Amino acid sequence: MPVQVLMPALSPTMTEGNLVKWLKKEGDSIKAGQVLAEIETDKATMEVEAVDEGTLGKILIPEGSEAVKVNTLIALILEEGEDASALENIKVEPSPVTTTHAAPTPSLQDNTPPLAVTPATAPSANNNRVIASPVAKRLASSLNMDLSTVVGTGPRGRIIKADVEGATAHKPSAGHIAASKESDFTDIPLTMMRKTIAKRLVESKQTVPHFYLSITCEIDELLKIRTSLNEKREKHNKISVNDFVIMAAAKALKEVPDANVSFHETFIRRYSQTDISVAVAIDGGLVTPIIRDASSQSLGNLSATMKQLAERARDGKLQPHEFQGGSFCISNLGMYGITQFQAIINPPQACILAVGAGVPTPVIKNGTVTQATLMNCTLSVDHRAVDGALGAKFLASFKSFIENPITLFA
């Protein structure tokens, strides 16, 4: 019997995914470990490898299909000795759940008629019918766009998603044309990542009792040490202020281990290792790759690891173990000139540290007005797991490491 290839769950939060691209075509031989397809999750575009050998007998969900439910049958692999006749016992049935892709959910049954699935790229027998991908049709429908006015750039003139988006960029959607030019607008469909961000952050603000603690750190000594360390480093290998922040937070969590926790309904989990999640802005949203055991790393190694993770995040190449978990989170908007903000906790983590820009500021020292570079940091705290005094103790430790950065190397 053919081997079933199901839509995999590539992260704990994944319930559906976009089938971006098939890297094998029907009739290709398959070896274990070879990449079959690219799947877009709410975090990244990931490669799916084959675990069985054989021949790719049938692709059931075409590339470009969106919102394919986890465990949906997407393809069949013929085992050694099987030929196309083994596919005759496959019947396509309507999916019992709502899906947004064009192909119905297939299943294996005995003694059923041959499979009849029309590929999304198949030309229409009716020359007057518009040929478009399922994704393009759904997008055009949501924008009230007449597909007959769109020029297709896909195979044999097929209209694809990019064609609809291109037409939308130059022309307001039908039915969305406002009374005045100033009121024209374009609806941008939510990506899987944006849907997940929206869902999780609403849940966080509605269910997690946030409170906030702010502290101001003087970073002039840190900047001097950073300049000294970077003098002989290549441009791509420079240590950033954020690297110091990550290490200081990790060291502070070692000193105040009761802040290195996550909340669960019947218990609080305290971590022995400081796995720091760091927010990285990417196209369409953000992800939080993790620096594992940050407190035990050298500043140079931590900096190199962070750069590699940030690059992989922006390229959509993070693996699940690189962004799942984490005991504490840092969000730094200082590089954008933001001086102070409050971040939203990412459950089940109990804390997230929002870091602002260092700003030259007049201060009074020993009765004399002088200048210092001050950096504001705000800790968002889940009051179910961390109380105010404990949060303040963590920030005091963090401030000590930031203002005396030589202690980070001890």
22 phi and psi angles, rounded to 5 deg: -90, 130
Taking CA atoms, 140 is separated from 18, 146, 337, in Å, by: 18, 7, 39
> What is the residue-wise DSSP string for 241-254?
HHHHHHHHHHHHHH
Q: Any residues with CB less than 8 A from the CB of 107 and at least 6 apart, and which?
A: 73, 90, 91, 92, 93
Tokens of 14: 């994944």
Residue tagged 């989990």 (tokens): 269
Tokens of 1: 């019997």
Euclidean distance between CA atoms 401 and 89, whole angstroms: 67
For residues 408 and 251, the answer to whether their CB atoms sit within 8 Å is yes
Verify whether residue 383 is a known catalytic residue.
yes
Euclidean distance between CA atoms 61 and 26, whole angstroms: 12
Q: Of the residues 170, 176, 210, 383, which is catalytic?
A: 383
HSE, side-chain direction, 13 A CA sphere, residue 23? 13
For residues 325 and 267, the answer to whether their CB atoms sit within 8 Å is no
> What is the residue-wise DSSP string for 211-234?
EEEEEEEE-HHHHHHHHHHHTTS-
Cα–Cα nearest to 23, from 39, 35, 6, 11: 35
**Residue positions annotated with a catalytic role:** 383
